[in-house]
Amino acid sequence: MEASESFLAPWTGFFYWVGVAGVAYWTVLLLRYLRYIVRVWVTGNPGAVGPHLGAWAVVTGATDGIGKAYTEELAKRGLKVVLISRSQEKLDQVASDIREKFKVETKTIVADFQDRETIYSKIKAGLEGLEIGILVNNVGVSYSYPENFLDVPELDKLIDNMININCISVCKMTQLVLPGMLKRSKGVIVNVSSIAAVSPTPFLAVYSATKAFVNYFSHCLNVEYKRKGIIVQSLVPHLVVTNMSKLRKASRFRPMPGWFVKYAINTVGLESETAGYPYHELWVWLIHMLPRWVVDESATRLAVKSKYNLLKKQKAN
């Protein structure tokens, strides 16, 4: 016993300071995380988005889900709104509701983003002369249900549509709007990606890849143009109650679009990439912390369960 104690004696001070350093390290990390929570999710940056950026906001996929919620929130902040979607009937209804509720001017443009050949000249004409301060690239499409790549129904069509809607639309809409922002040295572009961009998602392979494209594209543009007064933000949300997610019941981890956007819009200017919602940010953190095989196994089990439930609902209908 005495020999053991005599052996450890020279190391006592070393282990003491290692322990102090460890406690200090984790204390600093905790304080930084608490500061992040207060800065992003409690205080936020509510003044970042408003008419000072420009009189008009443009939102794609503006008649449902997250896009509609952004449209309403932007109108609430006093911005005139251009709504772009493929259904004139839905556009008219949402635009009418916004004008009545928020007393702002609206404009609608019918566009099916599956068609990459003709719509952008039409959109360009519709945006001509508008002082656009914010662009929300929200339009997107996903699988009907998770599936192995080669077993996806009408695979060729899905590949074309998903690239046109999820990727090409983001590039082309940015190309149309960004020059006007640069002339005024201010503007915000919000690109709605997905948590599937943060972690490759088996059984949603094409969707996951297209959303990763949006995430990388957003990051690159933010670096290229932030010194010129332009903010480009990538949103990587988890599930929100929308038509695309096919969820109908909201929960703490699966919010309604309006609740999600109230958080997300206040992160502009603070975070260039964000889940947009505190509980979704927790999911992103877990994905980064867990081993890849654990994430893949969890995603596979979720995909199998989701496929079973969605096909069951389709048969019931």
Q: pLDDT digits over 200-257, tens only? A: 999 999 999 999 999 999 999 999 999 999 999 999 999 999 888 877 888 988 999 9
pLDDT (tens digit per residue) in 254-268 = 999 999 999 999 999
* Selected residue with higher pLDDT from 229 and 31: 229
Q: Name the strand (E) or helix (H) holding 132.
A: strand 132-137
- The pLDDT score that the predictor gives to residue 19 is 80
Count Cβ neighbours within 10 Å for each residue of 219-255 and write b for 16 or more, e otherwise.
bebbeebeeeebbbbbbbbbbbbbebeeeeeeeeebb
4 pLDDT above the threshold of 60: no
12 and 100 fall within a common domain = no
pLDDT band at 182 (very low <50, low <70, confident <90, very high): very high
Asked, for residue 44, whether it belongs to a domain, the answer is: no
**What pLDDT, on a 0 to 100 scale, did the predictor assign at position 81?**
98
State yes or no: pLDDT of 1 exceeds 90: no
Residue tagged active-site, from 207, 225, 279, 308: 207
Domain identity same for 150 and 241: yes
Q: Could you tell me if residue 46 is inside a domain? A: no
**Domain tally, the chain:** 2
**Domain shared by 33 and 112, yes or no:** no
CATH number for position 162: 3.40.50.720
Do 193 and 261 reside in the same domain of the chain?
Answer: yes
Amino acid at 195: I
Contact indicator for 170, 120 with CB cutoff of 8 Å: no
- Kindly report the backbone phi and psi dihedral angles of residue 10, in degrees, each rounded to the nearest multiple of 5, phi listed first: -65, -20
Summarize pLDDT for 33-83 with one digit per residue, the tens.
788 788 888 888 999 999 999 999 999 999 999 999 999 999 999 999 999
Q: Do 83 and 194 sit in the same domain of this protein?
A: yes
Contacts 24+ apart (CB under 8 A), 35-40: 37/278, 39/270, 40/267, 40/270, 40/271, 40/274
Same-domain status, 15 and 62: no
Contact residues for 185 (Cβ-Cβ < 8 A; gap 6+): 228, 229
Q: Which pLDDT value is given to residue 317?
A: 67
pLDDT tens digit sequence for 14-23: 767 788 888 8
Identify whether residues 101 and 195 lie together within a single domain: yes
Position 146 in a domain = yes
Does position 5 have pLDDT exceeding 70, yes or no?
A: no
The pLDDT value recorded for residue 244 is: 84
Q: pLDDT tens across 298-316, in order?
A: 888 988 888 888 887 777 7
- On whether both 87 and 162 belong to a single domain, the answer is yes
Of residues 282 and 315, more confidence is placed in 282
The reply to whether 68 falls in a domain is: yes
- What is the domain range of residue 24? 2-38
Assigned domain for 76 exists: yes
Q: Tell me, yes or no, whether 188 lies in a domain.
A: yes
pLDDT of residue 109: 98
Q: Say if 167 falls within a structural domain.
A: yes
Q: State whether 17 and 135 are in the same domain.
A: no
In a domain, 43, yes or no: no
- What is the pLDDT of the chain when averaged over all its residues? 92
Are 196 and 281 contained in the same domain?
A: yes
Total-model pTM: 0.89
Based on the fold, state whether residues 117 and 158 are members of the same structural domain. Answer: yes
Does 271 lie in the same domain as 182?
Answer: yes
Question: Catalytic site residue 145?
Answer: no
pLDDT for 31 equals 85
The model's confidence at residue 172, banded by pLDDT at 50, 70 and 90, is very high
Task: Look at residue 7 and tell me whether its pLDDT is greater than 60.
Answer: no
